[in-house]
Amino acid sequence: MLLALVIVVITLFIFVKVAKGKPPQGRALDYLDSGEIAQGRVIACIGDSLTHGNLGACWVEHLRDKFPQDVFLNEGINGDVVWQVHERLKPILECRPDLAILMIGSNDAMGSFDESSGKGYKKNNKLPEIPTFNAYKKLLPELIDRLSEIPKIAICTLPPIGECLDSAINQHIEKFNVFINKTAEEKNISVLDVSDSMWDELSKRTYPAKKNYNPKMTVILKDIYGAWIQHYIFKKPWDRVAESRAQWLLFDQIHLGERGARVMLSLAKGYISTN
């Protein structure tokens, strides 16, 4: 009996690890390899797991349903920081996007919030240095400059980490969001205010939060893997997983359930429709 349980646990762990490492569907490289000529616009959605969409609900897939004539490049990669987006930008630009939506910085914020997390990001992501706010302040404007050949660019403020407004992590996130807004103004690009929209949605929650974000990697992985098992093995919607943990938007304190994806979809759809 014990052996069977161990085998099940190991199998589930391998399943989640393999699925977590799968790239999103419809990346820039896929589009270039296909030789397809877009009938509508090419729209690049660039970011991390919040854009990738297999660690939670995928708002990019919903955009594909809403705008079937357009090509959406899903360039969200799980765990990425802003430095990694720089490293993989070339094929995105080769697709000659008409619009780009950029949401990057959540991992930079988590990695710079906690020393052990920062060391983990550097090791696991093979980064040249531990993520810091100062590095982000240097690299984000440089990234926007490199994207400037795209006619229309919108940058997103960062969503909450955990659902407690006055927590230390969300005060840290706010520093990033102030800088994002300042940079967007200087670079004359649009802002999608994901942060304010997510907090507006969180004000509708019908039960109190029971816990806040814990930066320990063991806790983060436990929450992520547990949520994945509930969703992919037991077929629970992400919001049901969130509710079982007294969460509203962020079922594991980080990633978006269906409610969160709808917020992001509304913002992105509004921007695309008017551009």
pLDDT digits (tens, 9 = 90+) for 55-77: 999 999 999 999 999 999 999 99
DSSP 232: I
Asked, for residue 88, whether it belongs to a domain, the answer is: yes
Does residue 79 belong to any structural domain of this protein?
A: yes
Q: Is residue 15 part of a domain?
A: no
Any domain includes 153: yes
Q: Mean of the per-residue pLDDT values for the chain?
A: 92
DSSP string, 186-216: HHT-EEE-HHHHHHHHHTT-SS---------
Task: Tell me if 157 is assigned to some domain.
Answer: yes
Percent of the chain with pLDDT over 70: 92
Q: For residue 92, what is the domain's CATH number? A: 3.40.50.1110
Q: What is the CA radius of gyration of the chain?
A: 18
- Residue 5 pLDDT exceeds 50: no
pLDDT tens for 228-253 read 889 988 999 999 999 999 999 999 99
Residue 33 has pLDDT above 90, yes or no: yes
Q: pLDDT-derived band of residue 15, with 50, 70 and 90 as boundaries?
A: low
b/e for 148-181, b at 16 or more Cβ within 10 A?
Answer: eebebbbbbbbbbbbbbeebebbebbbebbebbe
Task: Indicate the pLDDT class of residue 13, thresholds 50, 70 and 90.
Answer: low
Query: Which of 246, 237, 153 has its CA nearest to residue 191?
Result: 153
Q: Is residue 80 part of a domain?
A: yes
Question: Does residue 51 lie within any of the structural domains?
Answer: yes
Q: Give the residue numbers spanning the domain of 183.
A: 23-197+260-273
Q: Across-strand partners of 99?
A: 43, 152
Count of domains forming the chain: 1
Do the domain assignments include residue 49?
Answer: yes
Q: Is 190 exposed, middle or buried (0-12, 13-18, 19+ CB in 10 A)?
A: middle
Average pLDDT over residues 86-107: 98
- pLDDT at position 221 is 87
Statement: the pTM of the whole predicted model exceeds 0.75: yes
Return the pLDDT at 12: 56
Judged on CB neighbours under 10 Å (0-12, 13-18, 19+), 129 is: exposed
